[in-house]
Structure 1
């Protein structure tokens, strides 16, 4: 387990467990939700076991059911753990007209837009589909991390959120440009990324690890 030094905030970022919508190959954005499938529950329980000895000072979750369920499974292993705090700005990217739709069908209808969505976030025309832009997701999520780092300069922070948001947020914190943030893909469901924040300096100890 990572040892937290003085004036260092350790963030434990977790992507929610696999859901019914994930399993059905549909867009699982900020305006749709579904329960975790058994596979997602079991994978999350493995993370919970791995993190059971971490003393969390704060636990944050997206307001969406899949993230809250994931967070509660993890916190169940902490008898004296913090109460879960719901943070609206950790909600998944709102995908507008695409939310809940079959990814394969949207790919057939809008091949160029899907290409930009997947490979060039800076070129993705979010307004065309009533979606949030990547820049908007980055703006709201990075603000959460900045505020928490100030409030807990020596804390252990659990953050449970979503694939696109975590990809955009973490790659931005790593120093990538908007055009680059989708390089390397999205972390898996029920995965753990650990980041140490010391002022303006961040260091990643774990990236998208599954158990």
Structure 2
């Protein structure tokens, strides 16, 4: 089985400001985000990664580089466009409080019923597309690297959707378990036949 180490990027300025941090916006990690990621890096330093994949967004790349800087065997970091965070269209970068007031029904479905979320209304990406593009990456890596340890650094919504889908959770219920924290680690042993989670959303 391929052993995946899924990491959500460290906390950023946009996270701290209470704004939507989707696929078309970016900001640096705040000091607390760097510190939490460095603690994770110490926990993972003895893991010999065969491959390291990251979203193209700088918050994810920075997180990945912090981890790999401590690794006993740091592979070249590969940027994967399909690991980019969910595109949130008109909401991206906006204050969550303001969107809550202006789009109550849409936000309710976005957070509680992904199967009913009308992405087109706010020029956003639909959950099925997010799941399809991220799952494709994992299935391809599983096929081509069946016995490797793989670091994957990405984002909260993407990881929530991807990991729950791999667990077998239906679309309507993928948000029920919540989003993993910034600088958190989820370890998955994955093959074509099954998915076995060792750790879910561990922080350091």
TM-score for the superposition, normalised by structure 1: 0.96
Rounded to whole Å, the distance in 2 between the matches of 1:79 and 1:171 is 30
Q: Confirm whether residue 198 of structure 1 aligns to residue 191 of structure 2.
A: yes
Q: Confirm whether residue 173 of structure 1 aligns to residue 184 of structure 2.
A: no
Q: Confirm whether residue 41 of structure 1 aligns to residue 34 of structure 2.
A: yes
- What is the RMSD computed on CA atoms of the aligned residues? 0.6
1:187 maps to which residue? 180
Instruction: Quote how far apart the aligned CAs of 1:106 are.
Output: 0.3
Give the count of matched residue pairs: 204
- Stretches of structure 1 that go unaligned for 5 or more consecutive residues are 1-7
Instruction: Quote how far apart the aligned CAs of 1:195 are.
Output: 0.2
1:65 maps to which residue? 58
Instruction: Quote how far apart the aligned CAs of 1:198 are.
Output: 2.6
Q: Confirm whether residue 31 of structure 1 aligns to residue 63 of structure 2.
A: no
TM-score for the superposition, normalised by structure 2: 0.99
Rounded to whole Å, the distance in 2 between the matches of 1:26 and 1:52 is 32
Q: Confirm whether residue 142 of structure 1 aligns to residue 135 of structure 2.
A: yes
1:56 maps to which residue? 49
- Deviation track 1:143-196 (CA, whole Å, cap 9, x = no partner) reads 000000011100000000000000000000000111010011100000000000
1:94 maps to which residue? 87
User: Which runs of structure 1 show a deviation greater than 2 angstroms over 4 or more consecutive aligned residues?
Assistant: none
Rounded to whole Å, the distance in 1 between the matches of 2:71 and 2:131 is 30
Rounded to whole Å, the distance in 2 between the matches of 1:15 and 1:106 is 24
The 3-state SS of whatever aligns with 2:53 is: strand
Q: Confirm whether residue 158 of structure 1 aligns to residue 115 of structure 2.
A: no
1:3 maps to which residue? none
2:4 maps to which residue? 11
